[in-house]
Amino acid sequence: MADLQDLETQKSYKYLQEVETLAQDIITAKETKLHLANAQNKLREALRALDNTEDRKTWIQVGSIYVERDSVVCKTILRNDIAKVEDDLNNLQIEIKEKVHKLRDLEHEPRLEGFTLKPISVAEAKALHKGFGLI
């Protein structure tokens, strides 16, 4: 009888460990998403500042050093960094959704309705407008 209780206790501990680990992963991913969003905003601010300047050369930080480069090159670097951060944010959002689904499955809760909705693309919107005769 004691072996049965030990087995049930071990299963309970394992279940709790899985749930807590997954929940902590979700929280960590959300914090990472927040840091990436802040970095993306700073990159956008820098790009906007470069757009408003007339200088041909700009100082840009590469690692721990500053390098003077052409403003056009700096704008390209910033646009590439913004695109990379945006891709990372999208991948992180997908990862969070998957982990939330898995957590809800572990907790025997129903899946969240509408949590997996994706916006329509511009081409789909134009097709809808054309189909309804709005264009």
pLDDT for 5 equals 79
pTM, rounded to two decimals: 0.76
Length reported for the chain:
135
How many Cβ atoms sit within 10 Å of the Cβ of residue 66? Answer: 10
Buried b (16+ CB within 10 A) or exposed e, 31-44: eebeebeeebeebe
How far is Cα 92 from Cα 94, in angstroms, rounded to an integer? 5
Domains of the chain and any CATH numbers: 2-107 (1.10.287.370)
How far is Cα 3 from Cα 65, in angstroms, rounded to an integer? 63
Q: Are the CB atoms for 66 and 59 separated by under 8 Å?
A: yes
Residues 47-84: tens digit of each pLDDT: 999 999 888 999 988 889 999 999 999 999 999 999 99
